[in-house]
Amino acid sequence: MPQNDLIEAGTVWLVGAGPGDPDLLTRKAERLIAAADIVFYDALVGPGVRELIPAYVEQVNVGKRSGRHSKDQRTINDLLLEAAQAGRKVVRLKGGDPSMFGRSTEEIAHLAAHGIPVRICPGVTAASAAVAGAGVSLTLRGQARSVRFLTAHVRGDEPLDLDWNALADQQSTLAIYMGREAAPQIARALIDHGMAADMPALIAVNVSLPGERYLFTRLDRMAQLVPVVSGDEPAVLLIGEAVRRCANQQSIENDIATPMASLMADIAAAR
Amino acid sequence: MPQNDLIEAGTVWLVGAGPGDPDLLTRKAERLIAAADIVFYDALVGPGVRELIPAYVEQVNVGKRSGRHSKDQRTINDLLLEAAQAGRKVVRLKGGDPSMFGRSTEEIAHLAAHGIPVRICPGVTAASAAVAGAGVSLTLRGQARSVRFLTAHVRGDEPLDLDWNALADQQSTLAIYMGREAAPQIARALIDHGMAADMPALIAVNVSLPGERYLFTRLDRMAQLVPVVSGDEPAVLLIGEAVRRCANQQSIENDIATPMASLMADIAAAR
C-alpha cells in the first residue's frame, strides 16, 4: 500500500539500492520506492530490487554501463526535473550508495538550480558488501588503518592518471570500483611503487547477485584472474592486509563461487 | 515470528546496524536479528535499532566508547565463542558497517580458530549516511575522484601519526571517524601540507539519530565548531570539494538541525 506522506509531491529522492541483493536494501529505501509515483533506475540496480517496485509505480530505465551509454547524464537530469516539475513523487534509484561514484552532485545541482527539493537515502556500497560476502574486512586494527575508494574506469588504452605513491600505502586498503580492465596496470604500478607483490588481493564479482564469486589472490597474480571475469559483470578489486583470510576460516558457501574461485586461483598460480 | 532457518545453530553473524536510524538497517539485518537466539550489541547501535530486537531474543550490551571501555575485545571474543559453542544462533550487531573500523577481523579470527562459522551482513557506514543527511556527496566527478575513510581516535595529547602529504590530496574526500577531538590538529596539518584553507568541511553529528546536525564550514574554521559537539556525540568529519553545497540547494529540514548549524557557523565565522 502506498505511504503517500513519505515523499512530498515535486520532490526528488536519490535512493541507494545497495549492491544488488534486494535484502541489502535499507528499510527506508524499500518504503520510499513504495511511496513514489515514478522510479528512475540504473543499470546497476539488480532485477531483484526492481521486483520490489510496486506495480502502481512507473519505472524508467536510465541505465548506463561503461561503453554502452543508454541515456547521458544531461538527459537523466532533465527527466528528473520534468517529473518533479509535474508534481510527481520521484525516486532516483542508484546502485550501491548514491554518494559513492553516483554522480549525485550533478543531479542535485541541476534540480536545486530549478528550486526542486532533493533528499538522499544512503545505501550499502559495493565494497562493504564485497568484503562481507568474502568473509573479510576493509580495515584491520594496527595494519589497515584507512580505506581508500576509487574508480579505475579507463577508455581503451588511456593510462590511469593516479597518485601511485599515495596508493601504494601498505597501511591502507584499496577498494577499486570498475577495476577489471585496469587490474593488470594497477597491480604493476602498485608493485613498482613499493607495494609488496604478495599483498592479499580479492576480486569480488557480481557481489550479492546471482553468479557472485570471490577470487582470493595476491597482487602480483591479480591480472591473471581478469580473463575469468566478463566485462558485463560488476567487479570490485580489493587490495590490502585486511582482505587476507584468517587461518582456519571456513569457505563461504556461495553456490558455485568457492569451487570456481579455488580452481581459477590454482590455474593462475600454476601459470 | 522467528525465521528459524536463517541462522544455523552455532553460527555467528556479524551484522551492520547502520548509523542509528532503524530505517537505515538493511532488510537482511532486520531478519537476522529476528532469527537470532542472542544479540550482542555495541554502544554505537542506536536505541531505535534495539527496539527491533524481538522480546524472545536475549540482548547483551558489549558497548565500548572511547575512554569508557565496558567490555574489552578479548571478553567480547570469548562471549561470542561461548554462545556459538553452546549451539546458539548468534548475532553480533555493530554500529555502521562491520567491515569499517569494526574490529571484525579479531572476532572472525578468534571464532575461526575454534571452528565456528562466521557470516557477515554489511551495513550503511556513517560517512555515507552523513553526506546523505547533509544533501551532499562523497565523490564529485572530475574533482573528488576518490574517498578516504580513516579514524582519528587519539588518547590525550598523543600526536596523530598520519601521512599528511597523502591526506592533503585535494582531489580526494576525507571521511574521518571519531575525529572530534583531533579536528584542530587535522585542520592545521592538512593546511600545512598544502590543502586549501577554504576547502569545504562538514561536521556531521548524531547522523540519523535524535540530535542530528550538519555543521557546514571550511577547513580553517573547522576547529572552532568542535566546542559545540559533545564528546558523547558520534561525529564524522568530512573534508573536500564533494561536501560543498550546490548553489540554491535547499536546507535539509532536520528539526533543530539547520537553525543550530547556521547559528554555530555564524558564531564561528565571526570569531
* Residue of chain B with shortest Cα separation from A24: B26
- β pairing state of B38-41 and B58-61: parallel
Question: Is residue A240 a contact partner of residue B148, using CB atoms and an 8 Å limit?
Answer: no
> Mean pLDDT in chain B?
89
Q: Do B27 and A22 touch (CB under 8 A)?
A: yes
Q: Which residues of B touch A128 (CB under 8 A)?
A: 16, 97, 99-100, 122-123, 125
Active-site residue list of A? 42, 64
Confidence (pTM): 0.91
Nearest CA-CA distance, residue B244 and chain A, Å: 10
Q: Closest approach of chain B CAs to the CA of A48, in angstroms? A: 13
Alpha-carbon gap, residue B120 to A38, rounded angstroms: 33
The arithmetic mean of pLDDT across residues B183-211, rounded, is 96
ipTM for this model: 0.91
pLDDT reading at B146 higher than 70: yes
Q: What is the mean pLDDT of residues A107-112?
A: 96
Neighbouring CB atoms inside 10 A of A163's CB total 13
Instruction: Report the distance separating Cα B198 and Cα B164, nearest Å.
Output: 17
Q: What is the pLDDT of residue B65?
A: 57
* Inter-chain residue contact A135 with B119, CB threshold 8 Å: yes
For the record, the C-alpha cell of A239 comes out as 587490495
Q: How far is CA A231 from CA A152, A153, A180, in A?
A: 14, 12, 7
Q: Least CB-CB distance to A122: which of B24, B103, B252?
A: B24
User: Which of A251-260, B161-170, B232-241 is most confident?
Assistant: B232-241
Other Cβ atoms less than 10 A from the Cβ of B48: the count is 17
Is residue B43 predicted with pLDDT exceeding 90?
no
Compute CA A250 distance to the chain's CA centroid, rounded to the nearest angstrom: 25
pLDDT in tens, A14-59: 999 999 999 999 999 999 999 999 999 988 898 999 999 999 999 9
Nearest to B146 among A23, A119, A148 (CB): A148
| H helix runs in A71-202, sequence order | 73-85, 104-113, 126-134, 164-167, 183-192
What's the confidence (pLDDT) of residue B198?
97
% pLDDT > 70, chain B: 86
Cα-based torsion angle of the residue sequence B23, B24, B25, B28 in order, rounded to the nearest 10 degrees: 90
Residue carrying C-alpha cell 571519531 = B178
Q: What totals of helices (H) and strands (E) does chain A contain, helices first? A: 9, 12
* The predicted structure's pLDDT at residue B259: 45
d(CA A131, CA A167): 19
Q: Report the C-alpha gap between A91 and A97 in whole angstroms.
A: 14
Q: Do B137 and A108 touch (CB under 8 A)?
A: yes
Most B-contacting residue of A137, A143, A162 (CB-CB within 10 A), to test interface:
A137
Instruction: Determine phi and psi for B21, rounding to 5 degrees.
Output: -65, 125
**Mean of the pLDDT values across residues B202-228?**
95
Is the pLDDT confidence value at A268 over 70? no
The Cα–Cα gap between B44 and B62 comes to: 10
> Please, are residues B121 and B32 in contact by the beta-carbon 8 Å criterion?
yes
Cα-Cα-Cα-Cα dihedral of B222, B225, B231, B233, to 10°? -90
Mean pLDDT for A126-147 is 95
Q: Does the pLDDT value for residue B252 go beyond 70?
A: no
pLDDT score at A239: 98
CA dist B150 → A5, A100, A158, B172 (Å): 38, 16, 31, 13
**Which residues make beta-bridge pairs with B172?**
B146
How many Cβ pairs within 8 Å bridge chains A and B? 212
Cβ burial of B232 (10 Å; 0-12, 13-18, 19+) is exposed
Contact across the interface for A124 and B163, Cβ inside 8 Å: no
Which of chain B's residues have a Cβ under 8 Å away from the Cβ of A84?
none
- Nearest chain B residue to A136 by CA distance is B105
Cell of A224: 591473471
Nearest to A26 by CA among A37, A13, A38: A13
Query: Shortest CB distance from B26 goes to which of A24, A151, A169?
Result: A24
Nearest in space to B94 (alpha carbons), one of B13, B6, B186 = B13
In chain A, the N- to C-terminal Cα span, in Å, equals 57
CB–CB contact B30 A27 (8 Å) = yes
Q: What is the pLDDT of residue A248?
A: 79
- How far apart are the C-alpha atoms of B139 and B137, rounded to whole Å? 6
**Residue A69: is its pLDDT beyond 70?**
no
pLDDT at res. A46:
85
Q: Which residue of B has its CA nearest to A249?
A: B112
Model confidence over B62-96: pLDDT tens digits?
986 545 555 789 999 999 999 999 999 999 999 99
DSSP per residue, A197-211:
TT-EEEEEESTTSTT
What pLDDT is attached to residue B241? 97
- Of B69, B64, B62, which is closest to residue B91 (Cα–Cα)? B62
Q: Could you tell me the pLDDT band of residue B257, with boundaries at 50, 70 and 90?
A: very low
Q: Which residues contact A184 (CB under 8 A, 6 or more apart)?
A: A222, A223, A226
Q: Using 50, 70 and 90 to split pLDDT, how confident is the model at B98? A: very high
CA distance A17 to A25: 6
Nearest to residue A231, comparing CAs of A77, A60, A67? A67
The answer to whether the Cβ–Cβ distance between B113 and A247 falls below 8 Å is: yes
